[in-house]
Structure 1
């Protein structure tokens, strides 16, 4: 079956802005372990089956579950748990090829992780970190607010409307779209019917990026 890139086919972009967890790396087992341990510690019901909000900033997820006066304390606890558990965090197929094709001037990582957690995970997985990256520590409002992707575009010196956002989670896709970017969703942490994007593909390895004088194009992998 031919990969359908919909409205992305033939378009050119000035930069590609990548989410990290679920897009560049598989950290799901480590994330789930940490959050389920935390859920048990704070006394949430059925912690072994706790549903993790992948792609949502930790403070936002905690605020949905606990009173406001507990958010910062519990945020520090869940970050500690995640920093201590990078077992099984691995690089996903297609990442090296994508970053090599795009180069630093056209690439950014935009993650809901803190700076410290990002560094633990990229070290564990061997992510080729570009010059520009935006973490939860760099913004006042995380995904689904447009600020993270808008900031990454600004740091690259490009218009967000000329960017392609690559994401695996609904909150990130909302963030990218709100910033004015086109969106490409990859499967991993969510089903295809949960992902509202210009195109949805099985994985990053399903596409490749080509760079010419007029910008970046995304095409089906050979």
Structure 2
């Protein structure tokens, strides 16, 4: 159950609005097999982070240009497939409710622009006009840069925004930014302590309250 009054909404993408588990796990499992790394260890680290950060974590001794080449190839591999990509329960309708109510909404994702556009379309979730892909965040999650930029694009103080996130790195980024942070899904992690939570977005409603909006469900 959540009950929050806010002036803007910031969404993560993967695991929050879009379920891309099948594509992500397949891509990073192949990466692990190629480099002799346990895929479970990679996936535990990579969720919510930019591809280059994960490559640098597991292949730290490679030259930067080679790390960047591998990261770009991984993103291209993920972009080539939309198989199994669906919305998180109720996400598409909830985003539409927010937009129809006039709520300022931004997408803040660790995915590159083209990958994010493709995944949102595959899942049938509207892409908000305010959009912060990995190219536009100086530092990736768990740094708060993306959320700070998202709030700035909305013209709303980040402290008056609510951020929806599902992964440890993203939750840390959202909390650090100063946004009211909601966990999406069942993650049990120290960063989730004391945070409000939703399993999905079915039944989450929005209504204007003065100059702000109440989000409840």
Change (3 A) 1:45 1:193: same
Please report how far the alpha carbon of residue 198 of structure 1 lies from its aligned counterpart in structure 2 after TM superposition.
Answer: 2.2
Please report how far the alpha carbon of residue 65 of structure 1 lies from its aligned counterpart in structure 2 after TM superposition.
Answer: 0.3
Which residue of the partner structure matches residue 32 of structure 1?
Answer: 25
Q: Distance in 2 between matches of 1:78 and 1:87?
A: 16
Q: Distance in 2 between matches of 1:12 and 1:46?
A: 43
Q: Distance in 2 between matches of 1:164 and 1:88?
A: 28
CA contact 2:32–2:42 (8 Å) conserved in 1: no
Which residue of the partner structure matches residue 94 of structure 2?
Answer: 98
The farther-off stretch of 100-109 and 57-66 is 100-109
Which residue of the partner structure matches residue 214 of structure 2?
Answer: 217
**Within the alignment, does 1:61 sit opposite 2:54 as a pair?**
yes
- TM-score when scaled to structure 2? 0.88
Q: Distance in 2 between matches of 1:145 and 1:114?
A: 16
Q: Distance in 2 between matches of 1:204 and 1:192?
A: 21
Deviations 1:105-163 (A, max 9, x none): 51111110000111221121111111111100111101111110000110110100000
Please report how far the alpha carbon of residue 208 of structure 1 lies from its aligned counterpart in structure 2 after TM superposition.
Answer: 2.5
Q: Distance in 1 between matches of 2:135 and 2:23?
A: 21
Change (3 A) 1:75 1:197: farther
CA contact 1:105–1:156 (8 Å) conserved in 2: no
One of 2, 7, 10 as aligned partner of 1:14: 7
CA contact 1:23–1:204 (8 Å) conserved in 2: no
Which residue of the partner structure matches residue 176 of structure 1?
Answer: 174
SS, match of residue 12 in structure 1: strand
Which residue of the partner structure matches residue 123 of structure 2?
Answer: 125
4+ long deviations beyond 4 Å: none
SS, match of residue 110 in structure 2: coil
Deviations 1:76-126 (A, max 9, x none): 111121111211001122223322222165111111000011122112111
Change (3 A) 1:13 1:32: same
SS, match of residue 204 in structure 1: coil
Please report how far the alpha carbon of residue 187 of structure 1 lies from its aligned counterpart in structure 2 after TM superposition.
Answer: 0.8
Change (3 A) 1:79 1:147: same
CA RMSD, 1 decimal? 1.9
Which residue of the partner structure matches residue 87 of structure 1?
Answer: 83
SS, match of residue 202 in structure 2: helix
Q: Distance in 1 between matches of 2:170 and 2:5?
A: 21
Which residue of the partner structure matches residue 183 of structure 2?
Answer: 185
- TM-score when scaled to structure 1? 0.86
Unaligned stretches of 5+ in structure 1?
A: none
Please report how far the alpha carbon of residue 197 of structure 1 lies from its aligned counterpart in structure 2 after TM superposition.
Answer: 5.5
The farther-off stretch of 169-178 and 95-104 is 95-104
Please report how far the alpha carbon of residue 203 of structure 1 lies from its aligned counterpart in structure 2 after TM superposition.
Answer: 1.9
- Aligned length, in residue pairs: 210
Change (3 A) 1:100 1:45: closer
